[in-house]
Structure 1
């Protein structure tokens, strides 16, 4: 496993754990804000590390990297929204980012030939 993939999997796993914790905490509390900041940092690490992974289109970016850009923009939008006092916009962008994270993880596990699929299923098709 390459270093980029290991960093990406570790950051994504941490993002799922922290994102779940953020969703379960009371909104607006110091704990929510602290966990949220950690989650955003983990998400940025997940997003940035994805650009070093180019197995789908060797040597080039693929459509998956477009989703990484979308996540980067969504996180920025969420931060901007809450700083403007737009709680609803913040919630929408954060929930969308978290749902995208979970769906990407499910897709990585369900797609044959991807490392997570091989690790979880043990199948090398």
Structure 2
């Protein structure tokens, strides 16, 4: 693992990663901890702020190409912003089931799927994580985290 590709990245990429990483960690806390508490609401607000920064900063990242520098991944950012708005609205309206559903969708789509794309060969985060020949160790760790998250979500949904 080396941070060199990230340190050499444009500021928008650095801001994006600086928002996504703590949001991913907070996701684990929020999905596993007791709901409706003061801590849940505080961490939820922080998570929404971080995800908003992540989504907005992505519009300044144009390395993949596409139409006028925008790619399909930017559509995910639009969906993320809409999902954040919907999750807040549902929470304020007392629609706990709807809030839970939207938040799970955001975690799977905005963090899980989008995060998975960053690990493809040739992408910056793949270079950060997979340099130095430790790719199998990193992949094993990611597989274990994915399995743990799937089991936690399954337990919560059943």
TM, length-normalised to structure 2: 0.73
CA displacement at 1:31 relative to structure 2: 0.6
Gaps of 5+ in 2: 1-8, 133-158
- Tell me, yes or no, if the aligned pair for 1:25 and 1:31 is still in contact at 8 Å: no
Residue 64 of structure 1 and its aligned partner are, at CA, apart by 0.6
2:10 counterpart of 1:13: no
Aligned partners of 2:31 and 2:39: how far apart in 1? 11
Tell me which of 92, 98, 112 is aligned to 1:89.
98
Q: Which structure 1 residue ranges, 4+ long, deviate > 2 Å from structure 2? A: none
Report the aligned-residue RMSD. 1.4
Alignment check: 8 A CA contact 1:16 1:102 kept: no
What TM-score comes out, normalization by structure 1 length?
0.92
Q: Note the alpha carbon deviations across 1:65-92, whole angstroms, 9 max, x for none.
A: 0000001101110100111111111000
* Larger Rg over CA atoms: 2
Alignment: residue pair count: 122
What is the CA-CA distance between 1:11 and the residue it aligns to?
0.6
Measured after TM superposition, the shift of residue 120 of structure 1 is: 1.4
Distance 1:16 1:6 in 2: 15
**Deviations 1:31-78, CA, capped at 9 Å, x for gaps:** 100110000000001101100100111751111100000011011101
Residue 102 in structure 1 maps to residue 112 in structure 2: yes
1:40 aligns with 2:45: no
